[in-house]
Amino acid sequence: MPSAKRVLVITGVPGTGKTTLADRIAKRVGDAEAVHITELVKAKRLFSGVSKQGELIVETDRLRRELERIIARSVQSVVIIEGHLLCDISVRGAMVLVLREHLPVLAERLKRRGYSLEKVSKNVIDEALDYCGMHSGNHYASVFESFCSDRRLMENVRRLLHGQKVCGSIDLMPELYTMISKGGLSL
Ligand SMILES: Nc1ncnc2c1ncn2[C@@H]1O[C@H](COP(=O)(O)OP(=O)(O)OP(=O)(O)O)[C@@H](O)[C@H]1O
Ligand SMILES: [Mg+2]
């Protein structure tokens, strides 16, 4: 691993496997720590209130500053930060992995979590429209997209962490069309 500290941001819509993957990479790399935004926001109370939908309204500037502090203080060579919100924040010098999931798989996962049909559909549509990839493009220089089930994912992460360029983008619009035409999505 190069001696300079490396920061990997993992974003993606809810249920794409960010937390699972961040912990897996941290374990595999060894000299790494995983930072989970959901836990951090609660622990440091980086929110101003709760939305009508019951979600925390995160103060993104405070979150970004807190992340920069964590990165600066980390004694590990690699800091992996994961969370949906990261696609709307600029974390300086970070490499970005947008985790994607096939729409029917994502819909099933979110239903199993007990999400309402409306919430499942909203997230499936966000995923189809590549919300996180598009928004990441506004905040980060290079964005790499991968399915969490891609067998080359860990190898690609290793290459990213060694400073190699890794490219990849995923078009899920055909899957959205199939889901809608089969009546598998409530709009
Ligand atoms: N590579 C994988 N293959 C199959 N299932 C997976 C994979 N990664 C995660 N999962 C499953 O997907 C579900 C969601 O994973 P996880 O909680 O890591 O997602 P997340 O993106 O962190 O979600 P959230 O944004 O809500 O925190 C879990 O049930 C997990 O077991
Ligand atoms: Mg998570």
Number of structural domains the chain divides into: 1
**Rounded Cα–Cα distance for residues 174 and 172 (Å):** 6
User: Could you tell me if residue 64 is inside a domain?
Assistant: yes
Is 166 a domain residue?
yes
Cα-to-centroid distance, 181 and ligand 2 (Å): 30
Separation of CA 17 and ligand 1 centre (Å): 3
Q: In 3D, which of 99, 80, 69, 93 has the Cα closest to residue 30?
A: 80
Q: Any idea what DSSP says for residue 9?
A: E
* Burial environment of residue 173 by CB neighbours within 10 A (0 to 12, 13 to 18, 19 or more): exposed
The bridge status of strand 6-11 relative to strand 78-82 is parallel
Query: Is 1 part of a structural domain of the chain?
Result: no
DSSP for 64-82, please give it.
HHHHHHHHHH--SSEEEEE
Instruction: Please report, in tens digits, the pLDDT of each residue of the chain (187 residues total).
Output: 445 899 999 999 999 999 999 999 999 998 999 999 999 999 999 999 999 888 899 999 999 999 999 999 999 999 999 999 999 999 998 999 999 999 999 999 999 999 999 999 999 999 999 999 999 999 998 899 999 999 999 999 999 999 888 988 999 999 999 999 988 776 6
Question: 186 lies in a domain?
Answer: no
- Give the position, in ligand 1's atom list, of the atom nearest the Cα of 99: 21
Distance 19 CA to ligand 2 centre (A): 4
Query: Which CATH number fits the domain that encloses residue 137?
Result: 3.40.50.300
Domain with 169, as residue range(s), is 6-181
Give residues (CB < 6 A) around ligand 1.
12, 14-20, 38, 84, 109, 148-149
Atom index in ligand 1 nearest the CA of residue 113 equals 29
pTM over 0.85: yes
